[in-house]
Structure 1
């Protein structure tokens, strides 16, 4: 799956102001001219075309109030968190109600992810997610760091708005998703999508840092220095304290040379994510004693390729397309639950995140909110088009006989077909458990963080 094989997809842009008009109650709308009504109807058709079975399964939302400021405030913190000393990161994550659903002890990891549950039901108090396993260690480790108080003061000031920015941007994205669900429901008929989201009233937010090669070198150098400090302080062997990766961690964090994130379908209703924030250091970096880095190296840089490095596999064209989107936009992707609930009127997008081979020091930051139905939501396959159900599995076999056969065959090995994960009458909890099990192995249970 070489980069030159891919085409460029110019993501359809939906203005937030138009989303507001399309999702508003018709009785409360101002009097529109016939031209304005026709314009809005045309936009609604374009939305469904892009999210439907003949489209890419995604679009972008632009012009969301305060989104640009929140993006620039929150996203740079992803890299700083990822490269922090592990003990200080544990404390910060715990204090801000964040967890992690990747093994952060793996120094060769390609992704660092910091997660929180976001409750959006009206009248429910906003609460953070559970602390991760990284934040659950009560052992006092400050004995190894004489300047711990000074370091804590610095880091507290740097990350003081972490949880607030996380929640504010997350709820901004949730509003976008709820309004888009209403627009889709009106085009399909009924209220299935919006009602399913409201019944869930919980979404998962993730602040994600995609590591550059340099980032992994920094982590390893820092680990060596920490081990040396501990050795001097304790006069004991550190052999048993070195980073350890078990079989499950090694599998889940396997480093694919040209991918930051392996091919997959999201299995919720909508996934909303910021356009990525790229960092390309201007010189070789090493962390200072206070844990910070050269701030001039943390400024956002344009995408070297001009696209987001998010790539989709277009089943209609049997090819990869790289998504190009405005830096200030939200990208909304359709998940498999929306595909099922809409009876195929919406189509889930098969996607991955490509890793630039020629720009090894480039890191990628993004913030994602995953919206899903309630765990007890039951899926019915009645009236679900057989062709759509087969498109996730049998079309791969069909493609193997065509020009893109090698690519389709590879995807067939990576992505478990929908038919093997979904049965009529399954709850969303059962579907997500089976999906997770087939993608990652183990018992299929989802992280609660």
Structure 2
């Protein structure tokens, strides 16, 4: 396998002292993912392939496991997924549009498309808006066979009546008419990616638990997420003032399946986001869209983000029913995703770089546990751009998890692996003497050993994890 600087694997590329650490997500072509997950032979690859092709695929399988294993970043990117580019470009801009709609119109649209929210949308100080739906594996297989489906209203008069009542223009109504179907179509594609990858990992580690655990859960959660720009926050607060909403303190109770984190305050943790103990970083060190955490499902599949800038600085003008704004899609200003991971071996933060149309797959703690440490869950957060305060970030995420009744056996799980992969045992951390950044991060991230007990179900594990992050005395309960 090729290596980067200092003999590191190719997926640990690129440390730039002026910008900070960059990790290039190892890229897997979708066509290779399908070949590797084929069940036509015991090795998982068709026997009709040439020896050279079999060797190439074996090398890819090894690279996948290295990227997702203890020595890798715990993530990779899948590229070349057919029929998803249009879905992504149609869905992601709707995250911002939904976040900036007035509550009456937004609630109606969410209800029509069977969507909900797992963040308190009445909190005017929120930095993230999230719109969620449970996705069923059975529905996904039917959707794949029949193709995308779109709701069509039977009565134009009834639709016009609703528009009149809610003040929603025909143009805006047209924007959202395929919200639910596009959400499902893209979500089902991402669920399939997770299943293919789980099968590959199962074969590599000689276990048959990851894929089966996903299928037994019967469903996954999809989230369409808008990370607010400063301008978006001003618009939302102005809308709240005009509609008579009282300003509320942030509600830190989160969905049990995967909490959304609020940003860190500069006064409490002034060094979060810096590149270890030396060098500068491109992000404001205290300015996080999403707080440091581990995902605790099996895989998290997410689109590479889309970034939006307003066409004009003065775009907060609103009418009675919804705000007027002009927006334009733009490339990442730094060339990376603003998803950042913590490298415990260097006490260092690394920014993740991935192709714009790729899907990033991250390992969750359940996969770490079920694989007996062969896969690595990664500590990560989402950082705001340092100087572009009016830049917003849009992404779509699918969280793949085991069934709530799935039982974890840790009798042969190396608990010291959680220390090696960056989690503290409450006293010591891996690598060199912990720097200030390491101490500050681990001060707000509960260690796995305190949340995981032998024979604990996934439901109990997720409940304990949520409690230790956000309960009354949780490490992030006041943030």
Change (3 A) 1:150 1:85: closer
Higher helix share: 1
Q: CA deviation at 1:244?
A: 2.9
1:16 to 30, 34, 43: 30
User: Where do residues 380-419 of structure 1 align in structure 2 (5 Å cutoff)?
Assistant: 380-391=409-420, 392-394=423-425, 397-398=428-429, 402=433, 405-419=435-449
SS at match of 1:206: strand
Q: CA deviation at 1:89?
A: 0.7
Q: CA deviation at 1:158?
A: 1.5
Partner of 1:73: 90
Partner of 2:132: 115
Whether the 8 Å contact between 2:134 and 2:222 is mirrored in structure 1 is yes
TM-score (norm 2): 0.80
1:57 to 68, 74, 77: 74
Instruction: Please state if 1:244 is matched with 2:261.
Output: no
SS at match of 2:105: helix
SS at match of 1:263: strand
1:261 to 283, 290, 303: 290
Counterparts of 2:247 and 2:106, CA distance in 1: 16
Change (3 A) 1:353 1:396: farther
Change (3 A) 1:361 1:123: closer
User: Where do residues 53-202 of structure 1 align in structure 2 (5 Å cutoff)?
Assistant: 53-121=70-138, 148=165, 150-151=167-168, 153-202=170-219
Counterparts of 2:390 and 2:140, CA distance in 1: 45
For each residue in 1:75-94, what CA deviation from the matched residue of structure 2 results, as whole angstroms up to 9, or x when unmatched?
00000000100111111111
Q: CA deviation at 1:386?
A: 3.3
Greater CA deviation, 389-398 or 264-273?
A: 389-398
Partner of 1:425: 455
Whether the 8 Å contact between 2:235 and 2:323 is mirrored in structure 1 is no
Counterparts of 1:273 and 1:75, CA distance in 2: 11
- Bigger relative contact order (CA 8 A; separation at least 6): 1
Q: CA deviation at 1:293?
A: 4.0
Q: CA deviation at 1:154?
A: 4.0
For each residue in 1:83-132, what CA deviation from the matched residue of structure 2 results, as whole angstroms up to 9, or x when unmatched?
10011111111111111111111112110000000010379988xxxxxx
Change (3 A) 1:426 1:260: same
TM-score (norm 1): 0.85
Partner of 1:354: 383
SS at match of 1:280: strand
Task: Provide the alpha-carbon RMSD of the alignment.
Answer: 2.6
Counterparts of 2:454 and 2:19, CA distance in 1: 37
How many residues of Structure 1 are paired with residues of Structure 2 in the alignment?
A: 408
Q: For structure 1, which runs of at least 5 residues remain unmatched after alignment? A: 127-144, 228-240, 445-449
1:322 to 340, 351, 355: 351
Whether the 8 Å contact between 1:400 and 1:406 is mirrored in structure 2 is no
Partner of 1:234: none
Whether the 8 Å contact between 2:338 and 2:383 is mirrored in structure 1 is yes
